[in-house]
Structure 1
Amino acid sequence: MKVHNPMISYHSLEGGKSDRVMGVDAHPDVCQGVVVFATVGGGGSGEVRIWSIAPGDEQPKFRSALAKGHDGSVNCARWAPDGCRLASAGDRGTVCLWRGGSDAAWWCELDEKNERARCDHLNHADDVYDVAWSPCGKWLLTGAIDGAATVWDTCTRRPVKVLRDHAHYIQGVCWDPLGSYLATASSDRSLKVYELPPKWHASKKNLKTTTVRWWTDPHEIPQKKGKKTAEEPKAKPRSALFASETAHASFFRRLCASADGSLIITPGAASKDNAKGSVTLSRTQLDRGPVSFLPSPDGSATACRACPALIEGGSSSLVAVCAHDAVAVYDVSSNSPRALASGLHYAALTDAAWAADASLLIVASADGYLSFLRFEPGDLGAKCAAPPRVPLPAGLDDLPRAPPAPQKDDDVVLVGVTPAPPQAPSTPGGAPASPAGSAKKKKRIAPTLLAPPTPVKSPAKSPAKEPAPEADAAPPAKKKKRIAPTLLSAVP
């Protein structure tokens, strides 16, 4: 194993300082050993940057940047299984679906060909910490800090299921590689596993949920509510399986499923003697507690990423566990690491990504740098084999493929919205105006008598008024009135 830690500023802040790297993921297509990967930063620039590294290179090369999709910090980025879409999630509830070609070379030549990846938006109510694709690439699972995990249909961009079973932040989500379940981890110190029956996406019923919260010990009896009798044995307090927010000082609890889908590996766990690490849980025996405990080499574990290839003929799976300043590659069938690297960074590790051929492991840190762990043939196992690919369910062959050429020169073009058919102009009354030559005849409606008419008395006829004199005619002369004299007193 060879470790390289090039001093490259993958995301820069104002003033030239290096921004923290919050997430990293590798493209599923590896051509001639060249690994293409995406990084996201937490400084608020909102860019998703594409890089590539060849087998003989110690430093990656910058290829392109996906800008104008986020307005704030970006916390996670994950490629779809088909490689033609990249999902990035960040603060303010923004989830971007970048669409392009299925091969890695298309993403590397964006700036050279002056092309742009098209972007769809999924809006959450609050910040999104983690995303996970379904094995067929039809649905996307997102987890937000409002305690809601949402399953989105990436073709219609509408939510299919909204899971509100957590009481606090959701810090990690994962989807079973075989498509039979999905899981979420939260800062409320619990793990939720949801079964996916056939046609679950078309059913309105709630998914069957299993909660894992405690260490299972036959000597520990769960405490019962109510009054205790003298015959009842004294119950011991149960031990919590996951560490509290104070002990787990990280934004993320990025869990994963093994390559064969039989195990769930969850970070942020704490043993009964307060040892920090990760736990593996059997998918079929969740009620029996952890199968094994993977101790963390340094501090609390923040992220687990399963190796996409099976080793030793498919009898075992590998998982990379990121701690505060160390990364260990475990075989899930044993508690001893097959590879260990520590002292790589000055800040906590945030994420990790495997190359599709398991030849390279990329580790991201909050100090703004990446570490590259290269494995020679035979370092991890005698034989590597790819896990079986989950076929697309029947009736879901409408997945978006490589987009057509954009019609505008903008960096971001919203797609997935079918333009409405042209409508006829409306009249002032609100009704659409009919075209010339096709005017409809008015339909005559016969009146209906609802009640007999009420008789109304006719008013008395008033005497006819004399016509008013014309304005030009002279007014008639007034006659003088003669007054008869009255004798008041006689004259002597």
Structure 2
Amino acid sequence: MRFTKPAWVAHRDTAAKSDSLKRLSIFSVHVHPDGSRIATGGLDAKIRIWSTKPILNTAAELSNKPPKALSTLTMHTGPVLTVRWAHSGRWLASGSDDEIVMIWDFDPSAKGKVWGSDEVNVEGWKPLKRLPGHESDVTDVAWSPGDHYLASVGLDSKVIIWDGYTHERIRKLDQHQGFVKGVCWDPAGEYLATQSDDRSVKIWRTSDWSIEAEVTKPFEDSPGSTFFRRLSWSPDGAHITASNATNNKGFVFIASVITRTSWASDISLVGHENTVEVASYNPHMFLRNPQAPVQTSNICSVVALGADDCSVSVWQTKSARPLIVAKEVFERQILDLSWSWDGLTLYAVSSDGTLAAFNFDPDELEGICPRSLQTEYLKKFGNHLPNIPSHYSHTAQTARLTPPPSPKSQPHPLPIQNGFGSATDGGERVNVLVAKRGGKKRVGLTTIPITKPVAPQIPLSQPAPPLSQSLSSISHSNGYAGPSLSGVSISKRAQQVQQQQQDRAPSVFDIDADTWASSDVRIDSLEEGGRKRRATNTIENDESKRPRTLGGDRKRVVVQAKELSIGVGPSMAQTAGSSLSLPIPTPMTKISTTVEGSDELFEVINPESEEGEPFSLESFTELKAIDAPEVSLMSGKHTQWLDYLPSPALAVCAASRFCAVALIDGQVLVYTLNGRRLMPSMDLGSPCSFIDGRGSILMIITSNGQLYSWLVFSALSVSAGDNLGIGMSKNNRRSSLPVSVSSILTSPNYTITSAKVQPTGASILTCSSGVIYSYDLSLCAFVKLTERWWSEGSDVWQARKRSLTNPTANRGVLSVAEGTIAGMADDEDIEETAEKIRPKYWTEAMTLAHLETRMHSARLLDSGAEFKQALSLYTRKLADEGYKSKAEELIRELLGPIYARGDTSWSSTVAGLSKRELLKDVLSTFVRSKTLTQLAVHWQDVLRRANNEE
């Protein structure tokens, strides 16, 4: 093994004039698939591309042929935290502190001097796509096998999935509760793994982007101070090696090996003296016995670990001891590792601003498996990602990138498709199918450059094999794998249309999904005459074999929404004995809403009387069946199911798992998304004023002020504030009576303007008085989540500014609530508030009280992120003002009893967060205070001893 640490690989300040200036940290490194280049990202907000030959070959380094520095990319405005080449080598993805993911493409015309610098680019790279979406630093990115997807993670606790070819956002995954600092793909394409400061590794299914498993045990005592938590998936798909794990209550630093399918974490790589920051598998499989066949029992892997103890270790999984341990090669922690595509060179970068290369001989890594055998082995997992048309690109290539030659001492690299080839003159057009929600597909005619084949060019008038091969692998922007069109022939008519479209803008037309469902329909059936008729007959003959939906064969009738004239009978009058009467929605001829999380439409059509006279509810049952109100679920132009109602509908809601309709006579009907009655018809005795549903919770407020909540799948009434009811078994749940909202309407002029329900079951009621309420079951009372009062003097009341500047931001429940209240105030109210004369300590008292209310509200709503944010602001305020008694009281509340007490009501968690983990952050803030340092140091020692004793 040869070790190299080139001094010329460095990121320095843009004003640097000599190598004597201090190096800046290098956060990431990645090797190009052809092995000729590496990309690094650093604190200088730049990406630098270096030639690998001068690193590995002394003669090349001395001759400067090829040049050492190839290119500098300068579009990021913050430190570059991650760089990753696509598997094709065609693109480079980067993530930065500026919250942006960038996609870079080779540009032969972009050579020359770097703007504002003396540096010269030997080769040019241009920004192809800028991907905004994260709300904080982007810490890691990863390309899926085949480059079909790009995953990015960040300090906003989000995982974003991008289409690898259109670069459009497909999905945002937000189930982590802490900074996400690592991401990797299953080489078989079945799963995605992410690692977060919430002390978990989550495994996501790529089929539906839901969680397959969550691993937490190895990370329960892991520190939260690491810059990254970079994990890696073994090339045989059998294991994930995760960084920042511990044994023995946090005293032994390890890397945890997670086994596929069982997701057990019984294997640990022990030896580093500080936190493991990054794990990286060699891209090749290895054979324990090179003479034996490729089978599971004969396969092993090589994995490298980089740690905060400034050392690098390399492990071969067939051995219990590391292959090498390189100590004292860096002065600070290792932040990233990357293996070359041939599996013989490992690159490491450190926060001390240096790069090191470990170059192995083939004999040292015995049993390396050829790439072809690895590809064949992975087929046992199945093909989980849609294939992509070959040579897919956004821009036609006008030049060929010639990579710097590889070192002579380096083995000849395996052949790869690097995507830098030139395009044919007047490239052919390919019809690419793009999935569209709602059961239809859209065909967009877009230009896809296709490189010249080795074989002689095929005339356009004949079926082109590359075209049919592209059509047999269909790419969809939302991850849907379309049907394979094998054996497709292109008719002369279709080719003529294709030729006419070459110089036009992309056109789009709809094709029914059912058309593609028949394997007997070929593309040449679009011709006129007998072929088209034969295809039509084939579809008609197959209709009897298809599953049916209730009402699915009828055409949708478009109904204009207008007010419905219905006479108010005795059943709609105010309930006897009730002094409260809330307004009800205006009856309409058409009422509709979209199903939560989809484009499906849940709608009701109420009939009108022929004479234009208002309907009377008492005489409504005498109407003919054809005039009965109709409820249906629509997907595009297709009816999924329908039902008829005994009374006109007043309001509807459509959650992710059920639909509900409230009738004007006080009845409520609940359906599954497939149209089954989920609960019996309920008569609430008064019309609905508000209706809302989330998850499996349905909430209704009637016009006489009764608030109802149900777990619809358990057919059980629960309290509006019963957060615990969701997690209990049905046998342990107790039915709850409705709650009256009269207590929050303290004036005849006040009314409820909005009513929503959270997935936890908590109700959110907005009152015209400028107060937002929720029901607290433990207090048996409505409590104020937030109110306009805090705008009178709280320093942290910024909702109005945020609501105006970023109205579509993905904000928490309380943040949205404060924005709602702020939007209710007019400019005159704001000016009057600013002009008022206040007492001396008004602002300090209002700010502290506001933050204390925020914490209580976040606890009630089980909003851990907002509780942590409010606690952080509250802690800083106490530290800045030096309020020792309040600070010590807060510390005692979070620490809890050190010794068990039988009568204590203290809980170790709040809003799903550990109180003692929160206390660590609180004490770290107090210790920096001018007046609370001694207090914080004392309680840090108490907390440490309490944790050790437990």
User: TM-score w.r.t. structure 2 length?
Assistant: 0.36
How far apart are residue 100 of structure 1 and its match? Answer: 2.6
What is the CA–CA distance in structure 1 between the aligned matches of 2:260 and 2:364, rounded to whole Å? Answer: 28
Task: Give secondary structure in 2 for the equivalent of 1:388.
Answer: helix
1:306 maps to which of 276, 281, 285: 281
How far apart are residue 368 of structure 1 and its match? Answer: 0.7
The answer to whether the aligner puts 1:328 opposite 2:313 as a matched pair is yes
**For the structure 1 residues 268 and 107, does the alpha-carbon distance in structure 2 shift closer, same or farther, using more than 3 Å as the test?**
farther
Which of the pair has more CA radius of gyration? 1
Letter paired with 2:345? L
Is the Cα contact below 8 Å between 1:51 and 1:108 reproduced in 2? no
Task: Give secondary structure in 1 for the equivalent of 2:104.
Answer: strand
The aligned residue for residue 246 of structure 2 is: 270
2:129 maps to which of 120, 143, 162: 120
Is the Cα contact below 8 Å between 1:352 and 1:361 reproduced in 2? yes
Residues 296-336 of structure 1: per-residue CA shift (max 9 Å, x gap)? 43311000111011222461111100012111111234431
Residues 407-453 of structure 1: per-residue CA shift (max 9 Å, x gap)? xxxxxxxxxx999969xxxxxxxxxxxxxxxxxxxxxxxxxxxxxxx
**For the structure 1 residues 160 and 337, does the alpha-carbon distance in structure 2 shift closer, same or farther, using more than 3 Å as the test?**
same
Which range moves more in the overlay, 50-59 or 371-380?
50-59
**For the structure 1 residues 10 and 107, does the alpha-carbon distance in structure 2 shift closer, same or farther, using more than 3 Å as the test?**
farther
**For the structure 1 residues 107 and 185, does the alpha-carbon distance in structure 2 shift closer, same or farther, using more than 3 Å as the test?**
farther
Task: Give secondary structure in 1 for the equivalent of 2:356.
Answer: strand
How far apart are residue 402 of structure 1 and its match? Answer: 7.8
How far apart are residue 109 of structure 1 and its match? Answer: 11
Is the Cα contact below 8 Å between 2:110 and 2:125 reproduced in 1? no
The aligned residue for residue 101 of structure 2 is: 95
The aligned residue for residue 576 of structure 2 is: none
The aligned residue for residue 300 of structure 2 is: 316
Task: Give secondary structure in 2 for the equivalent of 1:92.
Answer: coil
Which range moves more in the overlay, 50-59 or 78-87?
50-59
Is the Cα contact below 8 Å between 1:69 and 1:119 reproduced in 2? no
**For the structure 1 residues 155 and 300, does the alpha-carbon distance in structure 2 shift closer, same or farther, using more than 3 Å as the test?**
same
The aligned residue for residue 340 of structure 1 is: 325
How far apart are residue 165 of structure 1 and its match? Answer: 0.8
The answer to whether the aligner puts 1:29 opposite 2:46 as a matched pair is no
Alignment of 1:165-204 (within 5 A): 165-197=175-207, 200=208
What is the CA–CA distance in structure 2 between the aligned matches of 1:271 and 1:157, rounded to whole Å? Answer: 40
Task: Give secondary structure in 1 for the equivalent of 2:98.
Answer: helix
Structure 1 gap segments, 5+ residues each: 201-205, 216-239, 407-416, 423-492
The answer to whether the aligner puts 1:404 opposite 2:396 as a matched pair is yes
Letter paired with 2:340? A
**For the structure 1 residues 116 and 148, does the alpha-carbon distance in structure 2 shift closer, same or farther, using more than 3 Å as the test?**
closer
What is the CA–CA distance in structure 1 between the aligned matches of 2:164 and 2:96, rounded to whole Å? Answer: 17
Which range moves more in the overlay, 334-343 or 113-122?
113-122
What is the CA–CA distance in structure 2 between the aligned matches of 1:384 and 1:393, rounded to whole Å? Answer: 24
Number of aligned residue pairs: 369
**For the structure 1 residues 112 and 303, does the alpha-carbon distance in structure 2 shift closer, same or farther, using more than 3 Å as the test?**
closer
Task: Give secondary structure in 1 for the equivalent of 2:217.
Answer: coil
Task: Give secondary structure in 2 for the equivalent of 1:328.
Answer: strand
Alignment of 1:388-403 (within 5 A): 388=375, 393-394=385-386, 396-397=388-389, 400-401=392-393, 403=395
The aligned residue for residue 10 of structure 2 is: 10
The answer to whether the aligner puts 1:281 opposite 2:258 as a matched pair is yes
**For the structure 1 residues 65 and 295, does the alpha-carbon distance in structure 2 shift closer, same or farther, using more than 3 Å as the test?**
same
**For the structure 1 residues 113 and 266, does the alpha-carbon distance in structure 2 shift closer, same or farther, using more than 3 Å as the test?**
closer
The answer to whether the aligner puts 1:208 opposite 2:211 as a matched pair is yes
Alignment of 1:46-445 (within 5 A): 46-53=46-53, 55-57=56-58, 61-100=67-106, 115-123=124-132, 124-197=134-207, 200=208, 207-214=210-217, 240-241=219-220, 243-245=222-224, 249-272=225-248, 274-286=251-263, 289-312=264-287, 313=290, 315-324=299-308, 325-386=310-371, 387-388=374-375, 393-394=385-386, 396-397=388-389, 400-401=392-393, 403-404=395-396
Letter paired with 1:336? R
Is the Cα contact below 8 Å between 2:235 and 2:282 reproduced in 1? yes
How far apart are residue 214 of structure 1 and its match? Answer: 1.6
The aligned residue for residue 412 of structure 1 is: none
How far apart are residue 252 of structure 1 and its match? Answer: 0.2
The aligned residue for residue 437 of structure 1 is: none
What is the CA–CA distance in structure 2 between the aligned matches of 1:52 and 1:107, rounded to whole Å? Answer: 21
What is the CA–CA distance in structure 1 between the aligned matches of 2:232 and 2:10, rounded to whole Å? Answer: 25
Task: Give secondary structure in 2 for the equivalent of 1:179.
Answer: coil
Letter paired with 1:397? P
What is the CA–CA distance in structure 1 between the aligned matches of 2:233 and 2:141, rounded to whole Å? Answer: 14
How far apart are residue 382 of structure 1 and its match? Answer: 3.5
Larger % of helix: which? 2
Is the Cα contact below 8 Å between 1:95 and 1:122 reproduced in 2? yes
Letter paired with 1:117? K
Is the Cα contact below 8 Å between 2:232 and 2:281 reproduced in 1? yes
Is the Cα contact below 8 Å between 2:48 and 2:72 reproduced in 1? yes
Residues 80-137 of structure 1: per-residue CA shift (max 9 Å, x gap)? 1111111111112111111238xxx999999777644342111122210001100010
Alignment of 1:409-488 (within 5 A): none
Is the Cα contact below 8 Å between 1:293 and 1:335 reproduced in 2? no
**For the structure 1 residues 36 and 107, does the alpha-carbon distance in structure 2 shift closer, same or farther, using more than 3 Å as the test?**
farther
Letter paired with 1:136? G
Is the Cα contact below 8 Å between 1:28 and 1:82 reproduced in 2? yes
How far apart are residue 47 of structure 1 and its match? Answer: 3.1
Is the Cα contact below 8 Å between 1:99 and 1:402 reproduced in 2? no
**For the structure 1 residues 76 and 306, does the alpha-carbon distance in structure 2 shift closer, same or farther, using more than 3 Å as the test?**
same
Task: Give secondary structure in 1 for the equivalent of 2:343.
Answer: coil
Identity over the aligned pairs, expressed in percent? 26
**For the structure 1 residues 396 and 359, does the alpha-carbon distance in structure 2 shift closer, same or farther, using more than 3 Å as the test?**
closer
What is the CA–CA distance in structure 1 between the aligned matches of 2:286 and 2:146, rounded to whole Å? Answer: 23
C-alpha RMSD of the superposition? 3.2
What is the CA–CA distance in structure 2 between the aligned matches of 1:24 and 1:300, rounded to whole Å? Answer: 20
What is the CA–CA distance in structure 2 between the aligned matches of 1:328 and 1:57, rounded to whole Å? Answer: 25
Letter paired with 2:83? A
How far apart are residue 56 of structure 1 and its match? Answer: 2.6
Structure 2 gap segments, 5+ residues each: 114-119, 399-445, 448-502, 507-950
**For the structure 1 residues 392 and 210, does the alpha-carbon distance in structure 2 shift closer, same or farther, using more than 3 Å as the test?**
closer
**For the structure 1 residues 327 and 402, does the alpha-carbon distance in structure 2 shift closer, same or farther, using more than 3 Å as the test?**
farther
What is the CA–CA distance in structure 2 between the aligned matches of 1:192 and 1:352, rounded to whole Å? Answer: 22
Task: Give secondary structure in 2 for the equivalent of 1:368.
Answer: coil
What is the CA–CA distance in structure 1 between the aligned matches of 2:362 and 2:106, rounded to whole Å? Answer: 32
What is the CA–CA distance in structure 2 between the aligned matches of 1:22 and 1:150, rounded to whole Å? Answer: 21
Residues 56-76 of structure 1: per-residue CA shift (max 9 Å, x gap)? 338595332242321111000
The aligned residue for residue 919 of structure 2 is: none
**For the structure 1 residues 359 and 365, does the alpha-carbon distance in structure 2 shift closer, same or farther, using more than 3 Å as the test?**
same
Task: Give secondary structure in 1 for the equivalent of 2:146.
Answer: coil
What is the CA–CA distance in structure 2 between the aligned matches of 1:108 and 1:363, rounded to whole Å? Answer: 28
